[in-house]
Structure 1
Amino acid sequence: MNFQTDNPANELHTLRDYIRWAMTCFKQANLFYGHGTDNPWDEAVHLVLNAVHLPWDASHHVLDARLTTQEKQRILTFIRRRTEERIPLPYITGEAWYMGIPFYVDQRVLIPRSPIAELTEQLFSPWLRPGPVDHILDLCTGSGCIGIACAYQFPESQVDLVDISTDALKVAQKNIERHELTHRVHAIESDLFAGLSGKRYDLIVSNPPYVDLADFNSMPSEYQHEPKLALTSGSDGLDITRKILREASQYLAEDGLLVVEVGNSEQHIIDQFPQIPFTWAEFEKGGNGVFLLTAEELAQYARYF
């Protein structure tokens, strides 16, 4: 679609018109979907409604509402950025949803999509021991979505959001304030555990960088807009994960639980640590590559890390 010569605003008038037209543009551009939607129709609905400040699940009755010239131009700008620049939709709208919770995002952080959400909804049962969960660590937090979701699920807890990126922590702080959790959720700049001396956690959850170089180089162009620091970690994607495995036991309570996502690098870690009895979560909603280890298991197999 040539936005320089075509003038669709002369022919399109309603939200429904623009949703239909946006879907056509997306299909012609052969976009990749993986940052909140998985098909052009849902992507078009989210884009058009967000452009006019309507919720994505607004009543279908509003779809025949006519648009002002300014609203039309805003929608067209969104469509152009999505199709010509291949910018993932949440970066255009400034919002992503995780576990049914809205989060502010921009290109300083990854777009939330971790399957850890499903474990969080289940309170990490049956692996997390019963009883109060007082202290939670979200390591490599990015936008803060995992830790903030945990804060909702464990309302008695104090949650630390840790990242090495100052820019990412600014986004995380914005989300802490958005959800009015400043009294329980705290953003901390730290290179993994380096700034957490003396702290112990009942639950450590981490979605660290884990994409190996081969996968990174073959990823769709949409992913090139995400911070490389948050995606890659050495040639096999596991430099940071290995460090987490070596150090986590020093920061877990005696009956604590470590949960780490390694995605498609799952086989790499199995091959490197064949002695370790990783528990690999199974997901009904899709996803893979999330392992769980108790503090006792980490201590028992520490010599292998």
Structure 2
Amino acid sequence: MTSNDEIGRELHTLRDYLRWAISEFGRAGLFFGHGTDNAFDEARMLVFHGLHLPLGTDPALLDARLTLVERQKVLALIQRRVEERLPAAYLTNEAWFAGLSFYVDERVLVPRSPIAELIAQDFEPWLSARPQRILDLCTGSGCIGIACAYQFDEAMVDLVDISLDALNVADINIARHDLGDRVSAVQSDVFDLLGGQTYDLIVSNPPYVDAQDLAAMPAEYQREPALGLASGPDGLDITRRILREAANHLNEEGVLIVEVGNSCVALDDAFPTVPFMWLEFEHGGHGVFAMSREQLLEYAESFA
């Protein structure tokens, strides 16, 4: 990269910095997959964040000139994105999920689950009634459970994770959304410390990346906590535990929703007699299944 001082002398307007950022991202061969899928949206996110401008800013401002301090701040963000391969969400400390803003940093994965679409649909037709108790298992930032708390405004929600670092971020988001009266962060290795608690809905986006995929991931994914990604040779170590134990923590009409992404093939291979119900998504995404408590009990011997 040319020095920031030299670049700052040649670039003047908001439009200049957007164009330059897009070019730098292309030159560096960045990977996009943490809230954006292209260089333009990524550049807009970082440049507008550096200038404290909303993403819907009037296009007429694109020709506004930046101050020296503003130019230095924007250049520093772009430089870190290129040189450190940090996902943009870690640079802005913000990610959006289910239409809601969440604080994120390098202690948690950047939210990107297709489960947001299921939340917006009230998990229909899987739930027979509005859930009163919800568990977000392997919660990370808490985005799934907090989005559920918005969707089901009378429900009590537990956000569970083994990582205290992740739970500290979840606590930030509980406070950010003023949900401390209904949402709680709980440390537990899967169900180990939940005692006899039961829920109407258990939703989980657990670690599910197999060893081969983990080694081949782009650098941006390597900046995320491995604890939130890796799950054994076939990506199913945590999912197997969930399948074995979830029925004990579901109420009679309870439902389990689990995302396993690309490990869906390995899951079908591991349990060939189990008819997993793989859900379809209008807005993209795959590898999410739904199972009732009744089904979990029916196939308990397979999961054991």
Q: TM-score, normalised by structure 1?
A: 0.97
Any idea what the Cα deviations from partners look like across 1:173-230, whole Å, max 9, x if unmatched?
Answer: 0000000100111000111111111211010000000000000011101111100010
Post-superposition offset of 1:3: 3.0
Alignment correspondent of 2:58: 59
Q: Which amino acid aligns with 1:142?
A: G
Any idea what the Cα deviations from partners look like across 1:79-119, whole Å, max 9, x if unmatched?
Answer: 00111111110001111111111100000000000011111
Alignment correspondent of 2:201: 203
Secondary structure, aligned partner of 1:275: coil
Secondary structure, aligned partner of 1:56: coil
Check the 8 A contact 1:159/1:186 in 2, yes or no: yes
Check the 8 A contact 1:136/1:201 in 2, yes or no: yes
Secondary structure, aligned partner of 2:158: strand
User: How far apart in 2 are the matches of 1:61 and 1:52?
Assistant: 15
User: How far apart in 2 are the matches of 1:294 and 1:124?
Assistant: 12
User: How far apart in 2 are the matches of 1:57 and 1:207?
Assistant: 31
Post-superposition offset of 1:43: 0.7
In the TM superposition, what are the counterparts of 1:222-241 in structure 2 within 5 Å?
222-241=220-239
Check the 8 A contact 1:3/1:80 in 2, yes or no: no
Q: Which amino acid aligns with 1:229?
A: L
In the TM superposition, what are the counterparts of 1:1-305 in structure 2 within 5 Å?
1-3=1-3, 7-129=6-128, 131-305=129-303
Runs of 5+ unmatched residues, structure 2: none
Q: Which amino acid aligns with 2:186?
A: I
Secondary structure, aligned partner of 2:90: helix
- RMSD of the alignment, in Å? 1.0
Any idea what the Cα deviations from partners look like across 1:9-54, whole Å, max 9, x if unmatched?
Answer: 1121221111111101111111100001001011111110011112
Q: Which amino acid aligns with 1:224?
A: Q
Secondary structure, aligned partner of 1:259: strand
Any idea what the Cα deviations from partners look like across 1:267-304, whole Å, max 9, x if unmatched?
Answer: 00000111112110111111110011001100111111
User: How far apart in 2 are the matches of 1:38 and 1:187?
Assistant: 31
Secondary structure, aligned partner of 2:227: helix
Secondary structure, aligned partner of 1:50: helix
Post-superposition offset of 1:59: 2.4
Post-superposition offset of 1:155: 0.5
User: How far apart in 2 are the matches of 1:56 and 1:84?
Assistant: 24
Runs of 5+ unmatched residues, structure 1: none
Q: Which amino acid aligns with 2:66?
A: L
User: How far apart in 1 are the matches of 2:248 and 2:273?
Assistant: 21
Q: Which amino acid aligns with 2:21?
A: A
Post-superposition offset of 1:132: 2.8
Moved over 6 A (4+): none
Q: Which amino acid aligns with 1:296?
A: E
User: How far apart in 2 are the matches of 1:155 and 1:58?
Assistant: 32
Post-superposition offset of 1:57: 2.4
Any idea what the Cα deviations from partners look like across 1:228-268, whole Å, max 9, x if unmatched?
Answer: 01000111110000000000000001101000000000000
Q: TM-score, normalised by structure 2?
A: 0.98
User: How far apart in 1 are the matches of 2:226 and 2:264?
Assistant: 20
User: How far apart in 1 are the matches of 2:3 and 2:110?
Assistant: 27
Any idea what the Cα deviations from partners look like across 1:45-87, whole Å, max 9, x if unmatched?
Answer: 1110011112222222332222111111110000001111111
Corresponding pairs, count:
303
User: How far apart in 2 are the matches of 1:9 and 1:198?
Assistant: 60
User: How far apart in 1 are the matches of 2:3 and 2:213?
Assistant: 33
Q: Which amino acid aligns with 1:41?
A: F
Which stretch shows the higher mean deviation, 59-68 or 141-150?
59-68
User: How far apart in 1 are the matches of 2:3 and 2:271?
Assistant: 53
